[in-house]
Structure 1
Amino acid sequence: MNRQTSEAQAFEAHASDADLDDLRARLAAARLPEAETVHGAAPGPGRWEQGVPLADLVDVVNYWRTGYNWRSFENRLNQIGQFRTTIDDLGIHFLHRRSPRADAVPLLLTHGWPGSVAEFTHVMDELADPKNADAPAFHVVAPSLPGFGYSDKPATTGWGIEKIAAAWVKLMGRLGYSRFVAHGGDWGGVITTILGGRFPEHVLGIHTTVAQAPPGLTTDGLTEAERRWTEETRDFWRHRAAYAKQQAARPQTIGYSLVDSPVGLLAWILDKFAEWTDTEDSPFETIPRDSVLDNVTLYWLTRSGASSARIYYESHNSLDPELRVDVPSAITMYPRDIEKSPRPWAQERFRQIVRWRAPEAGGHFPSLEVPEYFVKDLQEGLAAVLAADSSRP
């Protein structure tokens, strides 16, 4: 780190053997319901109409219990470099991968729910030390949101998206990064938007896969494809967002199941990986099973099922409708993401879009689904952002 002080301490993840044995014992003793009553057992999205199919869950539970190796992922976290620091009386965990390149720029990566820093561990090396010498290099910082992973669980209300964004500025400053670029998706994308809008003196520019537009915009003048995007997004929030309403209204109630039952936690998260990925039947068509279990096991071992759900209680529908982002912005809308904004709508909030992409493949978890494209897109998007920033007076 640029400033190795007592404000940030090195941290190593190490689950006890007792915790891992307890996990396997709970998986072995799981009580499962009967199979779903849906039409069509053949591969296809219809199998998932009532949620995670029993046969799929049984397969993953058996692998989690007998084949999955947490220690491998734990070692990867420790190899990257983990730290903790206290900001506004809350312990914050973060990964920090410094680049060997002299021209590297600080980059802040923010995850969402049901993700974690596990979304970024496999791409941080290439972002920090790219094989292509012409690609930009970054000092990569990936914090765990409050209540997620190895960050502390807030004991009081108030840790919503605005406070998190302000905390991230403090974190980067503590590392010696007074100015930086930022990327995020899901909640991380909303927080990144706030960073660009509230802290332009610190944020050189942003890249996001979420471009929430101000409310009340008309579809007049949109193309047919853009209208379809708005209809799909509206359909999602009307018919497929029960999880968000539950976590926004009653996070404590669902939290008991998520902290007490590894099978319940797995099903709650796997359901989203299945529905939100660019696949025909199973999320494992594009995301390795171990990657999903790295993420779920991190939630389990840190007992963060309830505390992570509270970000919805704190922040659901709370993005300031008047917020505008004037720093250079690169935006990528993946085709199977859950919320897609037409560019004319996005431009009402993001006033300097320097790069816009709508790739042909990918969903809500692009760093896991299409990692090579994700890295290249992030590199090129941030290069455009930095070029635009350097041209500002």
Structure 2
Amino acid sequence: MALLVAAVVAGTASAAEATVPPATPKAGDDTSIRPFHIAIPEAQLVDLRKRIEETRWPDKETVTDRTQGAQLARMQDLVHYWQTGYDWRKAEAKLNALPEFVTTIDGVDIQFVWVRSRNPNALPLIMTHGWPGSVFEMIKTVGPLTDPVAYGGRAEDAFDLVLPSMPGYGFSGKPTGTGWTPDHMARAWAELMRRLGYKHYVAQGGDWGSVIVDKMAAQKPAGLLGIHVNMPATVPPEIADALRAGQPAPGGLSDKEKAAYNAMNNLYSKGGGYAAMMVTRPQTEGYSLADSPVGSAAWMYDKFADWTYSGGDPERSLTKDEMLDDITLYWLTNTSTSAARLYWENNANNFNAVDISIPAAVTVFPGEIYQAPRSWTERAYHHLIYFNEVDKGGHFAAWEQPELFSEELRKAFRPLRH
């Protein structure tokens, strides 16, 4: 979800989340780790091109900027390339070049990439994507994280890498009932790492991944040494109250705190419509997203424009092919609706400050939805082992700046290596 929140719905944790049991094998679950291979039938690609060709376009926006959403000329340019130049088979090959597996947890198949470093002392790391992202967000970090020497790093900073797709996303299964909240996913990830044989590991996330990683930290599963997030949940209660009331920035804030307040206020007042829709009516919007590839592409492209460090021009941060890899993945797996249901399941404001006591690390990227001040971060993450503000990259940090992102993780987790 590129932004993981029910941004404009200042709710609390849902009742479903409060009652989710630990992730444990269920009768009928295939708990084995099975190889996975992607092979989209050609008929689906033919159908996609036909649907694109038959698109009925809306009128051009009546403004000269992005204030009404994804602009017609930009969408027509992207979609023309999608139909005439883009090749899904290259994306498929990119994923299939990595070791892919699937296992069943609580009745849902969890598909994941699992890349083990050649360094026998590599630190196991589970990383989680968000919306409208996918595992494509993170695959450019596979090399730098698992083989740091090849990218100018140190051998002792190597990671074993586990990249799961969340339930309802990518090639993971779609829940057929309610209850797959971030809290539930956090328990599932701990179970996944246990099945892979890891006794100690660290976790990282951005967007929904940050929410899930924060839940893991709160649950303190056996073996979790610490976490890193690049969209931390730091907004203090008194600040959250002022935002909810639509007030100007309170007095007494530092410059960085005031900037963070204004960024959050802008999100809630002008940028949260997508989240409100998914929180309240994911099924309703799902009919359009499942039926129109261009509608689905515009829904996602608008967020790439909002949340990359690009000044509203996402092609400065991501190539057309990279964005279309992700957009096409959602289309071919028909997961736009199942992905949106995570907002409905969560129904909480995930920017509000957490209460985390295990070792935590935070990197603040300049193009993130808001730049968390250190003062707020220290109140939320009580054992802050690393905090850094970098000068490039946005909400999709691993995707936009994979080598910088990888170096941040190496630095962040060094204190936790044995």
Do both share a fold (TM > 0.5)? yes
Aligned partner of 2:271 in structure 1 is 240
Structure 1 residue ranges, 4+ long, deviating more than 3 angstroms after superposition:
217-222, 318-323
SS in 2 for 1:325: coil
Instruction: Tell me the CA shift for residue 339 of structure 1.
Output: 3.3
Local SS of the residue matching 1:233: helix
Cα deviation, residue 214, structure 1? 5.8
Residue 107 (structure 2) pairs with residue 107 (structure 1): no
**Residue identity opposite 2:125 in structure 1:** L
How far apart are 1:239 and its partner, in Å? 1.9
Cα RMSD between the aligned structures?
1.8
**Cα offset, 1:231, TM superposition:** 1.6
Residue 31 of structure 1 aligns with which residue?
A: 56
Question: CA offsets, 1:13-48, max 9 Å, x none?
Answer: 111100011111111111101111103xxxxxxx21
Show the counterpart of 1:62. Answer: 80
1:383 is displaced (CA, Å) by 1.7
Match for 1:121 among 139, 146, 155? 139
What is the distance in 2 between the residues matched to 1:316 and 1:229?
A: 22
Q: Whose RCO is larger (CA < 8 A, sep 6+)?
A: 2
Q: Secondary structure in 2 aligned to 1:297?
A: helix
Matched, 1:84 2:111: no
Shift of 1:6: 6.2
- Which residue in 1 is equivalent to 2:213? 192
> Which residue identity does 2:339 align to in structure 1?
S
Match of 2:247 in 1: none
1:226 and 2:233 equivalent? no
Q: Is the 8 A contact 2:146 2:160 kept in 1?
A: yes
Aligned: 1:338 with 2:369: yes
Q: 1:363·1:369 contact (CA, 8 Å) conserved in 2?
A: yes
1:325 aligns with 2:350: no
TM norm structure 2: 0.86
Partner Cα separation in structure 1 for residue 359 and residue 382 of structure 2: 8
Q: Which residue of 2 aligns with 1:44?
A: none
2:319 is aligned with 1:288: yes
Which residue in the other structure is 2:92 paired with?
A: 74
Correspondence for 1:42: none
Deviation at 1:58, TM superposition (A): 0.7
Contact between 2:129 and 2:207, CA under 8 Å: does it hold in 1?
Answer: yes
Retained in 2: the 8 A contact 1:11–1:82? Answer: yes
**Deviation of the 1:60 alpha carbon:** 0.7
Q: Contact 1:181 / 1:205 at 8 angstroms: preserved in 2? A: yes
CA distance, structure 1, for counterparts of residue 369 and residue 230 of structure 2 = 11
More displaced, 296-305 or 309-318? 309-318
SS in 2 for 1:217: helix
Q: Counterparts in 2 of 1:1-393, with a 5 A limit?
A: 7-39=32-64, 47-130=65-148, 131=150, 132-134=153-155, 136-199=157-220, 201-213=222-234, 215-218=236-239, 222-317=253-348, 324-384=355-415, 386=416
The amino acid of 2:43's aligned partner reads A
- Separation in structure 2 between the aligned mates of residue 172 and residue 134 of structure 1, nearest angstrom: 23
Paired-residue identity, %: 40
How far apart are residue 322 of structure 1 and its match? Answer: 8.6
1:261-311 deviations in whole A, cap 9, x for unaligned?
Answer: 100010000000001111124100111111101111110000001000001
Question: Quick one: which amino acid aligns to residue 35 of structure 1?
Answer: K
Q: What secondary structure is seen at the aligned counterpart in 2 of 1:48?
A: coil
In 2, the alpha carbon distance for the partners of 1:59 and 1:53 equals: 10
Distance 2:163 2:196 in 1: 12
User: Which residues of structure 1 form unaligned runs of 5+?
Assistant: 40-46
Q: Is the 8 A contact 1:211 1:340 kept in 2?
A: no
Aligned-pair distance for 1:202?
Answer: 2.2
Q: Give deviations 1:37-85, integer Å, cap 9, x for gaps.
A: 103xxxxxxx211111111111111111111111111111111111111
> Residues 214 and 348 of structure 1 are in contact (CA less than 8 Å); yes or no, is this contact kept in structure 2?
no
Aligned-residue offset at 1:245: 0.5
